[in-house]
Amino acid sequence: MDLDVSAVPYTVATGAPPSSDDVAEAIHVAYDRSLDLTDGAVADYIPELADTSPDLFGICVAEVDGTVQGVGDVDHPFTIQSISKAFVWALVCEEIGDEKLIDLIGVNNTGLAFDSVMSLELNDGHPMNPMGNAGALATTALVPGDSPDEQWEFIRKGLSRFAGKDLELDEAVYRSESASNQRNQGIARLLEGYGRIGSNPLDVVDVYTKQCSLLVTATDIAVMGATLADGGINPITGARVVSETVCHDTLAVLAASGLYQNSGEWLFRIGLPGKSGVTGGIVTIAPGKAGIATFSPRLDAAGNSVRGQRATAYLSRRLGFDLFASRPHNTSGKSPR
Ligand SMILES: NC(=O)CC[C@H](N)C(=O)O
């Protein structure tokens, strides 16, 4: 895909964070550069999503100092879908630790679509990573709680702490996905068959479907991303949500698999960890700096927002966020050898 950024230099001249005015201007330019893109299609495999207006578009940047700026449909509610996977994994990691999760879920990309069944078959039932549906279901199965209701409440409260506000379920999307998620039920049954889910697999699918049906806005996911950028402290509420180690681990997982089989290309072009969802959201994290949210429902073949990718590519370069861009030579104060 042409992200149209080859003429945009990596802005790393000073290494200093961009000013609020720089961020505001960059958001507007990113919006204008992406608005004419009408490639891609709204997800319709969940019937309730099919009526979403394809033209919705919003961009929001939440910085770790608490500055939040946006343009367009940043207050339009949509269901979080796969973006939830990143934050549920972080909450589970906080509870049971990263070594156990590497073992049980994995951190390697599958090279396959998010809803792949084949990924399990090729790997002796090991889910490989928590960002595909198989690994996300296996992660949700590990959420603390004595009942599916307790697990659901743990997730809802935890994701609300990331967002800094009480998140609620979209009943219509939840019902619609529950009536059409036979594929996820199949994946959960397969995990059970491989002995990789301890509890009732259909209960796990139900909790997972609820977590995907939480309503958020682009502003909310920007703040959620900023919390990961800020080492686990929500920059709006000031509350610690997860540890610094869990943030590190979550960002590494996202870098490898946040945009599914296209994660390598995303990292190559954008140079930051990100997570997409089928409603058209993408949250991208510039560690120590900001959470970037885009929302535009038209998706490419991998299920990633077309405008969102272009807008984020511009912001990453323009704001000097790309982790792999060369830093200014010898700003350390040390004399050259
Ligand atoms: N990629 C996504 O956002 C997928 C989430 C959706 N709830 C599913 O399981 O199919």
Q: Residue 331 pLDDT more than 80?
A: no
Q: Which atom of ligand 1 is nearest to the CA of 279?
A: 3
- Domain check: are 77 and 218 in the same one? yes
- Domain check: are 203 and 218 in the same one? no
Banded pLDDT at 336 (limits 50, 70, 90): low
- pLDDT at position 13 is 53
Mean pLDDT of 291-308: 97
With a Cβ cut-off of 6 Å, ligand 1 is lined by 81-82, 114-115, 133, 177, 184, 212, 277-278, 303
Q: Which tokens sit at 180? A: 């059409």
- Is residue 114 included in any domain, yes or no? yes
- Domain check: are 89 and 168 in the same one? yes
- Domain check: are 98 and 191 in the same one? yes
Of the residues 42, 114, 305, which should be mutated to test ligand 1's pocket, given the most ligand atoms within 8 Å of the CB?
114
- Domain check: are 222 and 298 in the same one? yes
What's the ipTM? 0.97
Tell me what percent of the residues of the chain surpass a pLDDT of 70: 95
3-class DSSP assignment, residue 175: helix
- Domain check: are 89 and 206 in the same one? yes
- Domain check: are 179 and 218 in the same one? no
- Domain check: are 99 and 204 in the same one? yes
Banded pLDDT at 337 (limits 50, 70, 90): low
What pLDDT digit, counting tens, does each position of 14-60 carry? 567 789 999 999 999 999 999 999 999 999 999 999 999 999 999 99
- Is residue 68 included in any domain, yes or no? yes
Looking at residue 105, its amino acid is: I
- Residue of 2 and 163 predicted with greater confidence: 163
Banded pLDDT at 127 (limits 50, 70, 90): very high
- Domain check: are 57 and 132 in the same one? no
Cα–Cα distance measured from residue 30 to residue 319, given in angstroms and rounded to the nearest whole number = 11
- Is residue 15 included in any domain, yes or no? no
Q: Residue 146 pLDDT more than 70?
A: yes
Of the residues 115, 178, 182, which should be mutated to test ligand 1's pocket, given the most ligand atoms within 8 Å of the CB?
115
- Domain check: are 231 and 308 in the same one? yes
- H/E segment holding residue 283: strand 281-286
Q: Residue 328 pLDDT more than 70?
A: no
- Is residue 336 included in any domain, yes or no? no
Q: Which tokens sit at 242? A: 């997860």
- Domain check: are 264 and 309 in the same one? yes
Return the DSSP state at 9. P
CATH of residue 281: 3.40.710.10
- pLDDT at position 14 is 57
Whether the Cβ atoms of residue 124 and residue 130 lie closer than 8 Å to each other: no
- Is residue 228 included in any domain, yes or no? yes
Q: Which atom of ligand 1 is nearest to the CA of 136?
A: 9
- Domain check: are 108 and 206 in the same one? yes
- Is residue 9 included in any domain, yes or no? no
DSSP string, 253-291: HHHHHTTGGGHHHHHHHH-S-EEE-TTSEEEEEETTTEE
- Is residue 113 included in any domain, yes or no? yes
Q: How many domains does the chain have?
A: 2
Residue 233 dihedral angles phi and psi, to the nearest 5°: -100, 125
Range of the domain at 131: 83-212
25 alpha carbon, distance to own chain's centre: 24
Cα–Cα distance measured from residue 314 to residue 168, given in angstroms and rounded to the nearest whole number = 32
- Is residue 7 included in any domain, yes or no? no
Q: Which atom of ligand 1 is nearest to the CA of 115?
A: 10
Q: What's the predicted TM-score (pTM) here?
A: 0.95
